[in-house]
Chain A
Amino acid sequence: MSVYLSGDFPSVEPATKAIRDLKSRGYGLGDLVVFSDEPILFPPGVLRRPSHMSLTAVLGAITMFLLASGFVYFAQHNYPLITGGMPIFSFWASGIISYEFTMFGAIVSTFGCFLWESGLIRKREDAPVPPIQPERIHLRVRCRPEQTDEANHLMLRAGASEVTRL
C-alpha cells in the first residue's frame, strides 16, 4: 500500500535538491512526479525521462511518404489516362503529394506520441494529484508506509515550505 506525499517548494533550487536527495536514497523516477502550472526547467539529468517523440515523428513521416508515393503510383497506373504528354507516373509531379503526406504523417505521429507519452490518453493510475498553486512547485513522492518519515524529513530539509500527505 503506497503512501503519497506532496512537498510544496517555492522555487527550482530546493526542488532540485529534494529530488537529488530522494534519488540518492533509492527512489526511482517512477516514484517522483513534479506538478506545476507552467513548465519547470530543471538542471540537466535531474528529471530526465526517456522520450521517443523524434523517432516516432521520423517513422511516421517515412511511413506516410511510402504510403503516399505508393498510392499515387498505384492510382495513376490503375486507370492510366494520358494527359498532356506527361508520363503516367512521374516522381516530380507527385512529389508535392508525397511531401505533404510526409509532413502530415510527422504531424499526426508527433501529436499521437504527445498524447501517449504525456499519459493523457493512457489508463490513469489512481494516484492522487496535489492541488496546484500558481508559481509553486509540487513534488509528489510515492513511498512505502515505513519510509514516510524519511521522505518527509528529506523534503523539508531541502527547502519545502510544507509537506502534506495526499
Chain B
Amino acid sequence: MAAAPEVIIPYHEVRDDLWRPLGPASNRYWIALSVAFAVAAWGILCWGYQIYAGIGVAGIRRPVFWGFYLVNFVFWIGISHAGTLISAILRLTDAGWRKPVTRVAEAITVFALMIGGMFPLIHLGRVWVFYWLIPYPNSRLLWPNFRSPLVWDLTAIVTYLSGSMIYLYLPLIPDLAQLAEETKGWRRRLYAALSLGWTGSDREWHSLEFAMKLMAGLILAVAVSVHTVVAWDFSMSVAPTWHSTIFGPYFVTGAIFSGIAALILVMTVVRRALHLEKYLLPKHFNNLSKLLLLLSVAWLYFTAAENLTIWYGNDPKEMQVFGVRTRGGYAPFFWFMVFCNFVVPFVLLGIRRLRSITTAAIASACVLVGMWLERFLIIVPTLATPRLAAAWGHYAPTWVEISITCGTFSAMVMMYLIFSKLFPMISIWEFEPHPLEPEEE
C-alpha cells in the first residue's frame, strides 16, 4: 500500500495552528479547568484530613500495610515513562515520525513524576518529618539509611524529575524565543525570561542539538533505573512472590506499556481539543498502536513467565498467594486485568481493519485500567497472604484513598490544561520538515 503523499503545510498556517491554543481561553476550557481544580482541591483537602486525623482513615491495616497509595505511586511513575520512550528511544533511533509527539510525551512525564513523587509523602504515617529521608547534617548526627530501597527511590525520582524537566525545557527554548516576539504583556515577559535571550545563532543550535542528543541517552539510562528501583521496593523484600528477580524488567516493560497508553489517550484528547488534526496524523497513532501492541505482548510474556515459574516451583507460601490471586478472592481482578492488558489491545489494534484513532484510545484506556489493576494485584494479595497463615487479612480502600486517587488524576488534567495554554504542544522547529537541509538519504 503506497503511503499517502506528504501534505506540505505552509509555514504561517503551521504557526497559526500551533499557537492558536495559546490565545484566549474558551468557555469549555474554563469549565474543564474548574472541574479539574475542584476535584484536585478535594483530593488535597482529604489529604489534609488524613494528616490531621491520622493515617487510619485510609484502608490500610495489618497485614496489608501498603494499599492504594503505593499502587498509585508505582502507577504514576510508570506513566512517566511515556516521554522517555518517545523522546529518547525514538530520538536515538532517529525515527522522524516522532517529532510532533515529543512535547506531549515529555509533559506527561514531568507531571506524572510530580504526582507520583507525592505518593511516598501521602502514605507516610508521620509526613511532617518526611525530611528525615534527606541527608542533611543534624543534631542527632544521623543520616538516612542508604541501604533502604526507599532512599534509593528518593534519589532515583529526584534525578529523573530534574532530568525530565531539563529535557522538557531544552527544546522549548527556541519556541519560547519566537513566542516572545509575537506576544505582549505578561506573556511576553514570561517567554522572554524563559528563553534566556535565545537568538537562533548556529552556535546555540549546535549546542542545543548536541545537548539534546546527550540528554536522550542519559534520560533513557535514568528512566530504566528509576522504575527498576521502584520495582526493587518489592523484590528486595522477603514477602512471598515479591522476592523475584524478574521484577526489575517486568516493571520497566509495564511502565513503558502504560506510558504509551497514556500518551495515546492524551494525544487523542489534545488532537481533538486543540484542533491539531493536521499535525497528529493517523500514522502517528498507527505507529504508537503498533508499539502498544508489541508491549502488550511483552507484558503478557513477563506475566506468564512470572506466574508459570511460581506455579511450577510450587513453593507452599508462594502458591498461597498465587491461588488467592488467580483462583481466590482476587481472581476477578486478575482475569479482568489480563483482558484489559492483552485481549483488548490485541483485538482492537491487532486486527488492521479495527485499528483507528478511536479504537487506539479505547484500547489505551483499557490498558491504563489494566495496568493499575496489575500494580494492585502485585501489592495487595501478597501482603494479605503472609507466610504465617494466622496473620492473613483483607484490604478495602476508604473514601479518603479513593478521593485522593481521583484528586491526583484530576491534578494531572489540571496541570496539563495549564501547560497547554502557556506553551505550544508541538514545537515548530522540530516539526517542520527541513527544506533547508542539503540532499541526503
The answer to whether residues A132 and B200 also contact, given A76-B143, A94-B146, A110-B218 and a CB cut-off of 8 A, is yes
A53 to B214, CA, bound (A): 9
Q: How far is the CA of A72 from the CA of B219 in the complex (A)?
A: 24
Tell me, in angstroms, the Cα distance from A122 to B252 when the chains sit together. Answer: 40
Rounded to whole angstroms, the CA-CA distance of A111 and B437 in the bound complex is 27
Residue from the list B152, B170, B434 in contact with A38, Cβ < 8 A: B434
Question: B146: which A residues are within 8 A, CB to CB?
Answer: 72, 75-76, 93-94, 97
The smallest C-beta distance from B181 to any residue of chain A, in angstroms, reads 9
- Give the chain B neighbours of A78 by CB distance below 8 A: 141, 143
Please state if B162 and A93 are interface contacts (CB–CB under 8 Å): no
B436 in contact with A51 (CB, 8 Å):
no
- In the bound complex, do residue B202 and residue A118 qualify as a contact, i.e. CB atoms below 8 Å apart? no
Q: Does B135 contact A (CB under 8 A)?
A: yes
A108 surroundings in chain B (CB, below 8 A): 162
Q: Which residues of A contact B432 (CB under 8 A)?
A: 38
A98-144 with Cβ < 8 A to chain B: 99-101, 103-104, 106-108, 110-111, 113-115, 117-121, 124, 129, 132, 134-135, 137
Of all chain B residues, which has the CB nearest A120?
A: B196
Q: Is the interface of B mostly helix, strand, loop or mixed?
A: helix
Tell me if A54 is interfacial: C-beta within 8 Å of chain B: yes
Is B398 on the interface with A (CB-CB < 8 A)?
A: no
Partner of B206, one of A49, A54, A75, A132: A49
B-side contacts of A132, CB under 8 Å: 200
| Contacts A110-B215, A110-B218 given; does A39 touch B163 at CB 8 Å | no
Shortest CB–CB separation between residue A156 and chain B, in angstroms? Answer: 19
Query: Chain A nearest CB: distance from B180 CB in Å?
Result: 12
> Which residues in chain A, 12-63, are within 8 Å of chain B measured between CB atoms?
12-13, 16, 33-43, 47, 49, 51, 53-54, 57
Interface stretch among B78-86, B221-229, B291-299? B221-229
Cβ-neighbour of B155 out of A81, A97, A106, A110 (below 8 A): A97
Shortest beta-carbon distance, A41 to chain B, in Å?
A: 5
Q: Does B11 contact A (CB under 8 A)?
A: yes
Q: Is the CB of B163 within 8 A of A86?
A: no
Which residue on B lies nearest to A54, using beta carbons? B214
Partner of A96, one of B135, B211, B225, B436: B225
Q: Taking the complex as formed, is B21 at the interface, i.e. its CB lies under 8 A from any CB of chain A?
A: no
Residues on A with C-beta less than 8 A from B435 are 11, 135
B 182-214 contacts with A by CB, 8 A: 196-211, 214
Size bracket, chain A contacts: 35 or more
Minimum C-beta distance from A166 to chain B (A): 13
Q: Which residue of B lies closest to A140 (CB)?
A: B201
Check if A39 sits within 8 Å of B211, measured CB to CB: no
Chain B, Cβ-Cβ closest to A113: B211
Shortest CB distance B304–A (Å)? 29
Q: Which of A16, A39, A99 has the most CB of B within 10 A?
A: A39
| Contact indicator per residue, chain A 77-103, by CB within 8 Å of chain B (1) or not (0) | 011010100100010011011011101
Q: How far is the CA of A113 from the CA of B435 in the complex (A)?
A: 29
CB distance from A61 to the nearest CB of B (A): 9
Q: In the complex, which residues 386-441 of chain B have their Cβ closer than 8 Å to any Cβ of chain A?
A: 428-429, 432, 434-438
Query: Is B166 interfacial (CB 8 A cutoff)?
Result: yes
Docked-complex contact B174 and A107, CB < 8 angstroms:
no
B145 contacts A by Cβ under 8 Å:
yes
Q: Are the CB atoms of B207 and A37 closer together than 8 Å? A: no
Assess the A96–B152 pair: CB atoms within 8 A.
yes
Residues of A within 8 A of B142 (CB): 79
| Nearest B-chain residue to A15, judged by Cβ | B436
Residue B159 lies at the interface, judged by CB distance under 8 Å to chain A: yes
User: Please, which residues of chain A bring their CB within 8 A of the CB of B152?
Assistant: 96-97, 100
Report if B268 contacts A (CB, 8 A): no
Flag if A40 contacts B205 (CB, 8 Å). Answer: yes
Q: How far is the CB of A158 from chain B (nearest CB, A)?
A: 15
Q: Which residue of B lies closest to A34 (CB)?
A: B202
22 contacts between A and B (CB under 8 A): A12-B438, A38-B174, A40-B436, A41-B434, A53-B214, A57-B218, A75-B135, A76-B143, A76-B147, A90-B147, A100-B225, A103-B222, A108-B162, A114-B210, A118-B208, A119-B204, A120-B197, A120-B204, A124-B197, A129-B199, A132-B200, A135-B436
Interface residues of A (CB under 8 A from B): 11-13, 16, 33-43, 47, 49, 51, 53-54, 57, 71-72, 75-76, 78-79, 81, 83, 86, 90, 93-94, 96-97, 99-101, 103-104, 106-108, 110-111, 113-115, 117-121, 124, 129, 132, 134-135, 137
- A-binding residues in B (CB < 8 A): 11-12, 15, 135, 141-147, 151-152, 155-156, 158-159, 162-163, 166, 170, 174, 178, 196-211, 214-215, 218-219, 221-222, 225, 229, 232, 428-429, 432, 434-438
Q: Which 9 A-B pairs have the closest CB atoms?
A: A114-B211, A118-B207, A75-B143, A34-B202, A39-B205, A118-B204, A38-B429, A104-B159, A96-B152
Contacts beyond the supplied A72-B146, A110-B215, A111-B170: 14 A-B pairs with Cβ under 8 Å: A11-B435, A34-B201, A37-B429, A40-B205, A49-B203, A49-B206, A54-B214, A106-B214, A106-B218, A107-B215, A110-B211, A114-B170, A118-B208, A119-B203
